[in-house]
Amino acid sequence: MVAGQALAATVCAGATAELGAMRISEEIDALEVMGIKSISYLVSTRIMAGFVVIIPLYAMAIIMSFLSAQVTTTVFYGQSIGTYEHYFRTFLRPDDVFWSFVQAIIISVIVMLNHGYYGFYASGGPVGVGEAVGRSMRASLVTIVCVVLFASLALYGVDPNFNLTV
């Protein structure tokens, strides 16, 4: 959820404002007059960029979260590294990490689609662009929570299969 919210708040809000400004200044209309399909030219490239960028960023975020937990546990709380690694390997399921990557990719594509839509169809001058950014952010935050909810239900259902015994 945090990866989706960070993507929506930074990259996607900027893309919405950029597309909205292009719509207001009639740059999109100029592309259509030239015979270029503006929605595929402007929105699809941003969706692909979000798809490509989320994979290495999410991988770095996962690695840094694992390392920060290890440093905090071993350095600040004084637990031995062997004990930490034992519990880390016991309770971390690799398939959960894989599904979190899939979920982050799905969230990034849906959020980019949402922001692309709101930016492409913005109207009403600079105020309309600001409203489009606000609407797209609200819709993205709700969508992110729904994707996480439905993915969690699809993966774990009513039996989360938590094995808390060693």
Q: Kindly report, residue by residue over 79-101, the tens digit of the pLDDT.
A: 899 999 999 999 898 998 999 99
CA distances, 19 to each of 23, 29, 64, 130 (Å):
6, 12, 33, 11
Which tokens in the block code for residue 131? 């409203």
Range 34-40 average pLDDT? 90
130 in a structural domain: yes
**pTM assigned to the model:** 0.83
165 in a structural domain: no
50 in a structural domain: yes
Q: Among residues of the chain, what percentage have pLDDT more than 90?
A: 63
Whether the per-residue pLDDT at 158 is higher than 60: the answer is: yes
pLDDT at site 6: 87
166 in a structural domain: no
Alpha-carbon span 162 to 17, nearest angstrom:
43
Structurally, the chain folds into a number of domains equal to: 1
Residue 68 belongs to domain spanning: 2-156
Query: In what helix (H) or strand (E) does residue 39 lie, and over which residues does it extend?
Result: helix 38-71
Alpha-carbon span 134 to 130, nearest angstrom:
6
Q: Which residues contact 57 (CB under 8 A, 6 or more apart)?
A: 3
141 in a structural domain: yes
162 in a structural domain: no
What's the pLDDT band for 51 if we cut at 50, 70, 90?
confident
164 in a structural domain: no
